[in-house]
Structure 1
Amino acid sequence: MRVVRFSHDDVIRFGIVDETDLVVLAGDPLFAGFDTTGERVPLAEVALLAPVIPRSKIVCIARNYRDHAAELGNEVPTEPLMFLKPNTSVIGPGDAIVRPPQSQRTDYEGELAAVIGRVAKNVSVEDALDYVFGYTIGNDVTARDLQKSDGQWSRAKGFDTFCPLGPAIETEFTPSPDVRIVTRVNGEVHQDGTLGEMVFSPAEFISYASHAFTLLPGDVILAGTPAGVGPFVAGDVVEVEITGLGTLRNPVRDA
């Protein structure tokens, strides 16, 4: 199922995509299941929002592609390297990424995003994917100059609008090695990789994260980005496409 969060007649609701319509759900499926209201709304009449706003945290896996680690002059980690983004950084498809005045270089990082579906603590690699509700697309926007100057990543990765998510959560998606992830700026390809290039698989990094933090329903884990990261400027449009998940598209503006 493709689950979306949407606004219609100034009311925020959840739905399941059924061709050109949305089947309206009675509540947030992460907490209320998939009961429907019996209503159908044309997709063309709604505004899609970020499909999930994490109630707790966004866990990010850094340097999870060897070529990306190399392009930034970093070693490949021997175990998952994690950091957190605040939930206030989340925006949805079509929302503007806002370049903050504190930064002179703001970069895109197209990524797979796993959405946790139930409480996970100290789970095994073998069981880790059983805790995933579904997958969506993310963009780990980064103020690259601040990442280097601050010595830690909270500010550089955590500005408002620095975590676009969407357009939908696909509950039946399989993160197989041949799944392709492509990032474009103004239609030009800048990143082109596959999930098979990841150093740590989703099962491995979800298990690892669960041994550090209790993962809660609605938490999001960003899986790392392929090589090809780079800057964007006001007026650009950034698109991240993942096979089977669609395309996340966001314009860019200055604050």
Structure 2
Amino acid sequence: MRKIRFRDETGIERTGEWPAGGDIEAAGKTYDPEAVDVLPPCEPTKVVCQAGGYMDHREESGFEDRPERPELFLKGPNSVSAHGDAIELPPGRDVVEFEAEFGVVIGEQCRAVSEDEAMEYVAGYTCVNDVSNRDDQQEERNWVRGKAFDGSLPMGPVVATPDEVPEDATLRLRHNGEVKQETTTEMMIFSVPELVAEVSELVTLEPGDVIATGTPYGPDSLSEGDTVEVEFEGVGTLENHVTTR
């Protein structure tokens, strides 16, 4: 199942199913995806992000060691935006980059779970773009300014249940139509169960919370007028355009 949140033509917020290539189905009606406002697929109280989830990206960032456990940081609800929303570049920053990721959406309260039971708490997966302001992140080492600014985490368009996503799913990003990032989940340093277990050891995850799993090799700069698409096999494609504030 591919679950979607949207606002219909009357302004009512609805939850439905969006089959691949079809119309949205909700409350016994069908809706043209182009005629509704797609909302973020969940409403997280927090997003726990993994830095350096793939070795090729760690190496291009200057880190050749394999971490002993996931390196984590937080983004707040203010950072979340939806499929079709604009990515607004923060003013006065020269280097703002895309990062294709997929997100693990939590289905029920999760605390101190083992790897073996971790998937029992996963509602599904979604596409994520971890937009990063490198000027502040790298020059000042300030992760709030660099990562957690308003609208810096487009997500969507749906939450696909685990049965919809292949075991070795492909993650891909297109920048103005050109493929810039591509990998599979087989290349992750830590598996989804390992991430859920690690995060839940100290952080209580609530329904709708998201673990953003990290990006592969190839983040690059965004400019006003760009279009960026994150595609995760089984989920679909998250598309956003870029503007300036």
Query: How many residue pairs were aligned?
Result: 241
Root-mean-square deviation (Å): 1.4
- TM-score, normalization: structure 1? 0.90
SS in 1 for 2:57: helix
| 143-152 or 77-86, larger mean C-alpha shift | 143-152
CA distance in 2, matches of 1:97, 1:138: 13
Which residue pairs with 2:224 in the alignment?
234
> Counterparts of 1:36-51 in structure 2 under 5 Å?
37-51=27-41
Which residue pairs with 1:218 in the alignment?
208
Runs (4+) of structure 1 exceeding 6 A deviation are: none
Which residue pairs with 1:141 in the alignment?
131
Q: What percent of counterpart residues are identical?
A: 41
Which residue pairs with 2:22 in the alignment?
20
Per the TM alignment, residue 44 of structure 1 is displaced from its structure 2 partner at its CA by 4.1
SS in 2 for 1:196: helix
Quick one: structure 1 residues 61 and 175, their matched pair in 2 at CA, closer, same or farther if it must change by over 3 Å? farther
Which residue pairs with 1:90 in the alignment?
80
Per the TM alignment, residue 121 of structure 1 is displaced from its structure 2 partner at its CA by 0.6
- Aligned partner of 2:201: which letter? H
Task: Identify unmatched segments of 5+ residues in structure 1.
Answer: 25-36
Instruction: Kindly indicate whether residue 198 of structure 2 is the aligned counterpart of residue 208 of structure 1.
Output: yes
| 213-222 or 9-18, larger mean C-alpha shift | 9-18
Per the TM alignment, residue 175 of structure 1 is displaced from its structure 2 partner at its CA by 5.7
SS in 2 for 1:122: coil
- Aligned partner of 2:202: which letter? A
Quick one: structure 1 residues 43 and 235, their matched pair in 2 at CA, closer, same or farther if it must change by over 3 Å? closer
Give the counterpart of 1:104 among 84, 94, 101: 94
Which residue pairs with 1:76 in the alignment?
66
| 235-244 or 10-19, larger mean C-alpha shift | 10-19
Quick one: structure 1 residues 132 and 175, their matched pair in 2 at CA, closer, same or farther if it must change by over 3 Å? farther
Per the TM alignment, residue 129 of structure 1 is displaced from its structure 2 partner at its CA by 1.0
Per the TM alignment, residue 6 of structure 1 is displaced from its structure 2 partner at its CA by 0.5
Q: Deviations over 1:37-93 (max 9, x none)?
A: 444434343221211121x10000111100001111124321000000011111111
Contact 1:5 1:49 in 2 (8 A): yes
Instruction: Kindly indicate whether residue 77 of structure 2 is the aligned counterpart of residue 116 of structure 1.
Output: no
Contact 2:165 2:233 in 1 (8 A): no
Which residue pairs with 1:173 in the alignment?
164
| 146-155 or 201-210, larger mean C-alpha shift | 146-155
Per the TM alignment, residue 248 of structure 1 is displaced from its structure 2 partner at its CA by 0.6
- Aligned partner of 2:210: which letter? V
- Aligned partner of 2:141: which letter? G
